[in-house]
Structure formats: C-alpha cells, structure tokens
Amino acid sequence: MRFSENFIQEVVDRTDIEELIGRYVELKRQGANLWGRCPFHSEKTPSFSVSPVKRMFFCFGCHAGGSAITFVQKIENLDFPEAVEYLANRVGLPLPKESEAAYETRGVSRKRVLEMNLEAAKFFRACLFDERLGAEGMKYLHEDRGLSMATIKHFGLGFAPNSFQSLTDHMHRLGYTDEELVAACLCGKSQKTGRTYDYFRDRVMFPIIDTSGNVVAFGGRVMDDSKPKYLNSSDTPAFKKSRHLFALNFAKNHCAEKAILCEGYMDVIALHAAGFEYAVATLGTAITPDHARVFSKYTQKVVISYDSDDAGQNAANKAMRILGEVGMEVRVLKLSGAKDPDEYIKKFGSDKFRQVLEQSKTGFDHKSERILSKFDLTVGSEKIKATSEICALIAEYWSGVEREVYISQASNLLELPKEVLKNSVEQIRRKQKRAYDAKQSREAMASVKNFGDRINPEAAKDPRAVSAEETVLGLLLLKEEYRNAVEKGEIVLSEEDFVTDFHRRVFSSMMRMHRTDGGLRYELLGAEFTPDEMGRIEKTEIARQQLVQNGPEVLRSAAAVLRDARTKENMKNSSLNEKIAYLREKKAKLHKGKADKT
C-alpha cells in the first residue's frame, strides 16, 4: 500500500519549498519567484526558478521541474515514497503505520539496503577486531599504514574474511534473502551454480557513509597482489557512485573555508588523522558533475591533491574543469618527494604539508607549468607549439577578466606581446563559437523533429500530432474548466486520440485525478511519473502559459488534429470502400464549411 493521497498532500502543504531548496541552492528573489543556479546541471547564469505560490520549481536550462517531492527525489537520489518519508520526517509528520509497504517499489527498498549495510558494517568491524579473523587486516591498518586505533574506530573500518560464505551466512541468520543481498551488492551470484557468494573477501573494508550518517556502500582493499586492488560497491537503491564522496560526512563540518579532494581512502584517512578534517575522495571513479554539485553545497574552494604521475595529473585537469563549471575556486597541490598526501605526511610531517597546502597553485598556473615543461622555448618550433597550447588553455576560461590576467602571465612566460596572444585566444574562441553554434543548430533541428527524445521516444513518428498533444496537455494543466469540458464531452477527446504513450499516460492520469480526487493535484502525479517525466510535464505547462492564445478554440483545434491523426492511422488498415467513404465525408464537410462562411 502506498501513502494515502491525503497524507502526501499534507506533507507538501507543510513543506516550505523555498526553505527546502534554499538549503541546496542560493536563491535570490526576482518578483514573485526566486532564482538560482540549477543543482542538476552546470551553469554560470541562474536559470533555476522556484515559485513559492505554486510550490513548484523549474529549470529553464535542463528542464528539471516539479514539486518539493520531485526535488528531493532528484537531489537525494530517492524514489517517490522515500522522498515523501524524507519530507514527512523533516516537517515532523508521523508516518502512517500502513506505509511500510510503500517502500517496495523496486524489489528491494532503499531502507532495506541501509539496514543490511549497517549489519554488514558491524560484521566487518567485529571481524577486524577478532584476533583470529582480522589479524591480517589489523596488521595492515595499524602496523603497515600507521593508523591509530582511534582513527580505525572513527572511520568504522573493518575486515572481510577470506571466505565465500562468512557474510552471506551471517546475513541469512539475520533474515535477509539472497535476492536482497545481491541487490545491496553485498553478495554476488555464480552464473554456473546459481549460488551466492560474498562480494568482498580478504579485504580491509571502508564503509561509505552519507551526510545523514547512513552506511550506503563499501570499499575494500585487497591484502595480496590480486586485482582489482580496490573493490567498490556498485550502484544500489541506496547508493549512486557518482553522487557520493568518501568522508564527506565528517568533512562537511570543517570545509567551509576550503576542502581537499584526494584520489583514495587512505589519503583521506591519513589527512584526517593529521588534522586536515576537510579532505574527501571520490569512490574509485573520476569526479563527475554530480560530485561537483554535491561538493559545492559545502564549500566554494577546493584544493586537488592527486597522485603526481601522468594519470593523476590528467585526472586533476578533468576535475579542475568540472569543479570550475559549478563556480568553485580550484587550486592544485604539487607534492615533491612523495607520490600522495599519505606518503608526504609520513615523510615530512603535517606542518610541512600545511605549508605546501598554502602554496597550492591556481588551475592556470598548474596547467601552464605542465605545458611549458614539455617544450624547449629556445627552439622556434617548440615555442610555437607551447604558445598554441597555452592560448587554447586561456580560451577555455569563460570570464574575460580571467583571460586578460592569464594573457598577461603568458606574455611574461613566453616573452611575447600581449596583443599577439590575445588575437590568438580570440581566434580560437571564435572557432569554438562557430562549432558550438553549428552543434546547437543540429540539436535544434533534431528537437524540431523530436529525434532523440528520451522522455517521449515515440515523438518523432508524427511531429504535427505530438505538437497538438503538447498543446492539449498544456491547456488542460492550466485550466480546470477545460478539464471539465473534456469530462462532460463538450470537447471531444479520449485516450485513444493520443499518438504517443507518454502523453497518453499523462492525459489518463490527469483526467482520472480530476474525476476522482476533486481536481488535479500536481504533486500526486509524482507517484506515477519519474522525476524526469515530471520535469517534462511542468515544461509543457510553462510553455503553454507563456503563450497569448490559450482560448477554448485552441484546445478544440488541437483535439481535432489528434482525432484526424487517429482517423488517418485507422484508414491505413481500412478497405477501399471505407477509404472512399471517408474522403467523401471529408469533402462534404469542407464544402459545408465554405457555404457557412458565405
């Protein structure tokens, strides 16, 4: 049983959407609405709008939109019932007892996965502190890596025994099934035998904890030379790798001034143990735009501390770009005499690391140094290559002020006139703009024909009918009297008239709600549509609202287009006599229309 509609409505009514979204986005009031930079895609100019009156949000850039429930679904990676519970807890509204079944929306619920993860974390921790089972893991952490017992306990570290069934058997005794354990990525299933086995074996275990204190996943470091060296949980109903950062649950309270972004678990733990409690790491993957947007909620300055090898430096370049796109100040730490922060602190101490941290370089300084190190500037051809790469680097910066500053720096480094460099940079930017405009034009043409529409994949088969569907839905969303007219048959329209399944579902849900729930309650649609689909529905309403002509004749005309499209589709399978009769009827109507006008 899902949450009752009255309960959902009460949750939405009690939620201050301005205050809710304001915790994630810096909002500024402009007229009746509030505006900010969208948390769901990278942008420099605010296109994200919140309407406190309508209790809705919409991004004019990526077209995310919906109610407070939809926002929580997207920002916290929850399904609809979980988002309702999240908001209910937030406003202090007790959950109805019968709502437990509402979690069972994806086979295994997020709540169930979190329960399993907590039990698994306790199991791994007990194994680490067991002298027989965890001796190898404790030796690695305490003796080889020099972690104190306080640090080991602080991070909840554990050990997975070298066994195929230890965790599985333990979880079975607690009542969890094989299907649940596989869904939580705690067990795998053999394709040959169909039997489950422990996913993590003979590994030091690092629990990954979200900012609410939930164990959402695990990372494991192998004890021998087998591969992979680090094994991480795959995505589950409770975990999305591209949205979580290791130790952010601790760092969020210390990173207001700045944060350190590392590559691995041990770097982060070593930094925290040395007093740098604002360090985090991605989870065995390159940083993503989702990571950056999550990160930007807690700090505006990031110092990247990746390994000094080529792979680490290439990853740092990518991280600089992604973090910069969400407006963060990014600097890069260059360590000499050690490959990573853990090794550096062990060799030189935390005070020396703090000094190096204060001397971290801007992204431009870091990249330009790497470029210049590749070329001999005393050789003409080499100097030309270096100049070309540095001009291309400067051209990437959006701010004209930044470009001017970096052109001045490059002029000194390359011993070339600023005007020469500026002309080269602007030439590169003009070329990039032409390429961007051409891409936008191609995308616009595809959009006109509805190609590549992920939300409504059938949209390309009949653009005229799909346009009419959008007109119909936009008007029905806007005005209750139009829904009444359709309900009473004053405007002839039915589910069968729709060409695409997505629009048909929206119409069906909207009209059913109108008939049975005493009117359209937008937030309840979220129980039947995904957050992305909700954004499309909101876009349809807003697009219609911005037009001047929204009278009943527009609705009747669009409905007629849909009926005509359905008739034509039906005629494809009709007999010759039926087709002739249809053409005669259509001709007669045309003549009658002309006669009426005269």
Domain edges within the chain: 5-103, 110-239, 248-359, 368-446, 457-597
So what's the pLDDT on residue 20? 94
210-264, pLDDT tens digit by residue?
A: 988 999 999 999 988 788 899 999 888 888 888 889 999 999 999 988 999 998 8
Across 175-179, 243-247, 586-590, least confident range: 586-590
Determine the Cα–Cα distance for residues 97 and 86; give it in Å rounded to an integer. Answer: 15
What top-level class would CATH report for the domain 5-103? alpha beta
Share of the chain above pLDDT 90, in %: 48
Position 98 pLDDT exceeds 50: no
Mean pLDDT of 42-46: 83
472-489, pLDDT tens digit by residue?
A: 999 999 888 899 899 889
Mean pLDDT of 183-211: 92
Mean pLDDT of 579-584: 58
Across 70-84, 281-295, 344-358, 515-529, least confident range: 515-529
Q: Are 145 and 187 in contact (CB under 8 A)?
A: no
Determine the Cα–Cα distance for residues 485 and 511; give it in Å rounded to an integer. Answer: 11
What lies within 8 Å, CB to CB, of 461 at 6+ separation is: 499, 500
Q: Are 158 and 121 in contact (CB under 8 A)?
A: yes
So what's the pLDDT on residue 100? 41
So what's the pLDDT on residue 578? 54
pTM, full prediction: 0.62
Architecture label for domain 110-239? Alpha-Beta Complex (3.90)
- CB neighbourhood size of 452 (10 A): 11
CATH topology of domain 248-359: Dna Topoisomerase Vi A Subunit; Chain: A, domain 2 (3.40.1360)
List the one residue out of 243, 245, 302, 291 whose CA is nearest residue 268: 245
Determine the Cα–Cα distance for residues 23 and 226; give it in Å rounded to an integer. Answer: 44
Residue 77 DSSP class: T
Position 582 pLDDT exceeds 60: no
Between strands 361-362 and 28-30, the pairing is: unpaired
So what's the pLDDT on residue 185? 94
Determine the Cα–Cα distance for residues 75 and 82; give it in Å rounded to an integer. Answer: 12
CATH for the stretch 457-597:
1.10.860
